[in-house]
Amino acid sequence: MAASGKAPGTGGSRPRPGVLRRVLYRFAASNDDLADDELRKEALDAGASTIADAQSRTRVHIQGRIEVLTLNPKGTNRWLEAELNDGTGSVHLVWMGRRRIPGLRAGRRLAVDGLIAVNDGQRVIYNPKYQLLSD
């Protein structure tokens, strides 16, 4: 034993706690779980709130990926709907009176600002301000 009390050749360095856990998680996790982790990390790094933490009737800045994009032609009122996922949850975005938004498509990353509401148990933001992010 060396004078420091450590076995020779070990250098005294140990892996940080949780390293093995993260390695095992990444090995066993599905592609969807890894994609959700990446979305969540990107949103937090950009200073955005997470959808899971967003409270009803509060203004939020969130970012994520469009999972579903639909045109809702009920009656004479038409609006564009999108489901935004940030890895922690999803929120419906509704642009009333819009049939399309250039550049907006499923799989596109998007940052939005707006007021979270709950409609039929679903989180929704009506007419959010948006910014298209690079793919």
| Among candidate residues 21, 86, 15, the one with its CA nearest the CA of residue 47 | 86
Residue 4 has pLDDT above 50, yes or no: no
CATH number for the domain formed by residue range(s) 19-132: 2.40.50.140
Residue 85 has pLDDT above 70, yes or no: yes
- Distant-in-sequence, close-in-space partners of 49: CB < 8 Å, separation ≥ 6: 43, 60, 61, 62
How far apart CA 22 and CA 20 sit, in angstroms, is: 5
Per-residue pLDDT of 17-53, as tens digits, reads 577 666 665 666 677 666 777 877 888 788 888 998 8
Average pLDDT value for residue range 70-88:
84
- Identify how many contiguous H helices and E strands the chain contains and give both numbers: 2, 6
Q: How confident is the model at residue 60 (pLDDT cuts 50, 70, 90)?
A: very high
Give the count of beta carbons closer than 10 Å to the beta carbon of residue 64: 27
Its pTM stands at 0.72
How far apart CA 10 and CA 130 sit, in angstroms, is: 53
